[in-house]
Amino acid sequence: MTAPASYDGLPRQTSTVERAVTALLMVGLAVLVPIASFLGLFLGMVSDGCTGDTACNGDQIALGVLVSAGSPVVVFIVALVVVVVRVVRRLPAWWVPLVALAAGAGLWVLGAVVAASAVG
């Protein structure tokens, strides 16, 4: 008897459902990105607590606003590139938007903490 042929040379397959789920998750992420960026701009209002007797760091507030407003866009672009590469290579990509959502939320909160900690 001969050994069965190896399947290592064949391209990997992803299901249609997996591709549809990936596309829907990316659309959902695309909807959340402008909302998160817009809300990140409101973090500039933490400077309202800066009165005559309260010391504040304006540069730190600006950095926090920049991180909160800019990180959703950057994370989305990175996720989009990773999804396209994984789909072209026929690898599972459904998890990429979920990781991007968690990373974007984490960076948004980090920016909020940086901005809020600038108010003394």
- Rounded Cα–Cα distance for residues 101 and 107 (Å): 10
Report domain extents, the chain: 16-116
Q: What's the token pair of residue 9?
A: 């040379």
Per residue in 79-114, pLDDT tens?
999 999 999 998 999 999 999 999 999 999 999 999
Q: State the DSSP string of 33-102.
A: HHHHHHHHHGGGGGGGG--TTS-B-HHHHHHHHHHHHHHHHHHHHHHHHHHHHHHHTT---THHHHHHHH
C-alpha separations of 58 from 29, 34, 47, 63, 91 in Å: 31, 25, 8, 9, 45
Torsion of CA 39, 45, 47, 50, to 10 degrees: -140
The percent of residues in the chain predicted with pLDDT above 70, rounded, is 91
Q: What is the pTM of this model?
A: 0.84
